[in-house]
Amino acid sequence: SPQPMEAGFLDPDGRETLFHMGCYGIGVSRLLAAAIEQSHDERGIIWPLAMAPWAVCVLPLGGKDQEMAERGERIASIIEERFPAEVLIDDREARPGVKFADADLCGFPLQVILGERNLREDRVEVKVRQSGERHLLPVSGLPEWIGDFLGRPGSMVDTMILDR
């Protein structure tokens, strides 16, 4: 019976034999699926820092507050200027719980939370998605803390994946 392409060869006995073909390449979609399968929890994805579409998510919790939105943009700019990190600002008019749940679901490695009370005291909260650790930092100390985080052993290739 005819086969696609009718590609064949003569085997050692001189019989015509069809090639067996296969594609075993590793594609981006397979890598992403494998990373998600290996690094997730009940709340969502935990992206390895080296694969994260955005390394940092800035979460201004002020609704329509223009000042809060501007502070979020300034903090995102500071991070992007000093580090090779992509930053997403969640500027939606959504409740804090919705923003927190979505940030966990999307798996941003770092979440910088800008609440009104903390900003009055010139502080921000940083959450590390992988461990759930939360750090309350002065705004002026944020760049140094992020630099330390990015320089941690295992932070660029998540040890959680390599150790499995």
pLDDT at 163: 40
DSSP characters over 96-116: HHHHHHHHHHHT-SEEEEE-H
The token duo for 116 is: 């009104």
Predicted confidence (pLDDT) at residue 70 exceeds the cutoff of 50: yes
pLDDT at 23: 76
Using only C-alpha atoms, the chain has a radius of gyration, in whole angstroms, of 24
- CA dist 154 and 164 (Å) reads 14
pLDDT at 84: 80
Q: What is the CA 74 to chain-centroid distance, rounded?
A: 21
Q: Which residue has the tokens 């090639």?
A: 19
> Which pLDDT tens digit goes with each residue over 138-152?
999 999 999 888 876
Checking 90-94 for CB contacts under 8 A at 24+ apart, the result is: 90/57, 90/58, 90/59, 90/60, 91/60, 93/63, 93/64
DSSP 8-class letter at 140: G
- CA dist 116 and 72 (Å) reads 12
Which residue ranges form the domains of the chain, and what is each CATH number? 44-162 (3.40.50.800)
The token duo for 128 is: 């590390």
Predicted confidence (pLDDT) at residue 57 exceeds the cutoff of 80: yes
